[in-house]
Amino acid sequence: MSLQYHFFSIPALHPQQAQDELNRFCAAHRVVTVERQFIAAGTDSHWALCVAVASGPGKLPDALKAAERRAGTGDAGAGARVDYKQVLGEADFALYAELRQWRKAAAEQAGVPVYAVFTNEQLAETVTRGVGTLAELGAIDGIGPARLERYGQELLACVQAARLAHAGSPEHAA
C-alpha cells in the first residue's frame, strides 16, 4: 500500500464541472486526506485541493484506519463516539480518566495532539486488558515500537500508581 497525491482546482465562479470531476474521483478511490486552500485572485479565484489516496494491495496502516473512521468511511458504526463511562465499570473508568489526564500532560509536553500519544480506544483497551508490561501494551492495535519506546514506561508507571492508589482506597479494602 502506498499513498498517491492528486491535485485539483475548483473555480469559484463556475465550479460545477470541476466539482463533479472531484466527486467522481473521490468516489472511486480510498481517500486518506484532503487538503484545501482558497486562492483569492478576483475572477480567477479558485479552491486548490490536494487529495491523498491509498493505492495498491494491503491493509491501511492503523493511523489511516483511524482517519477513515473519523471521516465516516470505515466500517459501519466505527465512527460513532464511544461513551467510556457507560462502557467501562466504575473502577476501570476511574483508571481510564487518570490515563487521559496523563496523556494530556504528555501530549502538551511533547507538543503533539493527544491522539498522537495514545487514542481513547488504546487507553480503554489498556484498562480492560489489565496491561502491566510493555509486551502486553504492544499487543494493542496501533501501538507500535515508536509509541512503546516514547510513552510505554510512563504509561505503565501511571497504570501501576493508579492501581496502587485505588487498592488502598476504602472500597477496595473490604
- Tell me the per-residue pLDDT of 53-99, one tens digit each, with 9 for 90 and over: 877 655 555 544 444 444 444 444 445 577 888 888 888 899 999 99
Centre a 10 Å sphere on the Cβ of residue 120 and count the other Cβ atoms it contains: 16
Averaged pLDDT, 159-163: 89
Specify the fold of 84-173.
Answer: DNA polymerase; domain 1 (1.10.150)
- In this prediction, residue 148 has a pLDDT band, given cuts at 50, 70 and 90, of very high
Between 76-80, 141-145, 146-150, 157-161, the lowest mean confidence (pLDDT) is in: 76-80
Question: Does residue 5 have a pLDDT over 50?
Answer: yes
Question: Does residue 1 have a pLDDT over 60?
Answer: no
- In this prediction, residue 18 has a pLDDT band, given cuts at 50, 70 and 90, of very high
| 28-44 pLDDT per residue, tens | 888 888 888 989 989 99
Average confidence score pLDDT of the chain: 81
pLDDT of res. 56? 62
Please answer whether residues 151 and 106 qualify as being in contact, where contact means their C-beta atoms are separated by less than 8 angstroms.
yes
Provide DSSP, 54-123. EESSSPPPHHHHHHHHHHT-SSTTTTSPP-HHHHS-HHHHHHHHHHHHHHHHHHHHHTS-HHHH--HHHH
Averaged pLDDT, 138-161: 92
Domain ranges of the chain: 2-71, 84-173
Please answer whether residues 142 and 152 qualify as being in contact, where contact means their C-beta atoms are separated by less than 8 angstroms.
no
pLDDT of res. 68? 43
pLDDT above 70 coverage of the chain, percent: 81
- In this prediction, residue 100 has a pLDDT band, given cuts at 50, 70 and 90, of very high
Q: Indicate the pTM of the whole model.
A: 0.53
Residue in the block written with cell 464541472: 17
pLDDT above 90 coverage of the chain, percent: 43
φ, ψ of residue 172 in degrees (nearest 5): -95, -10
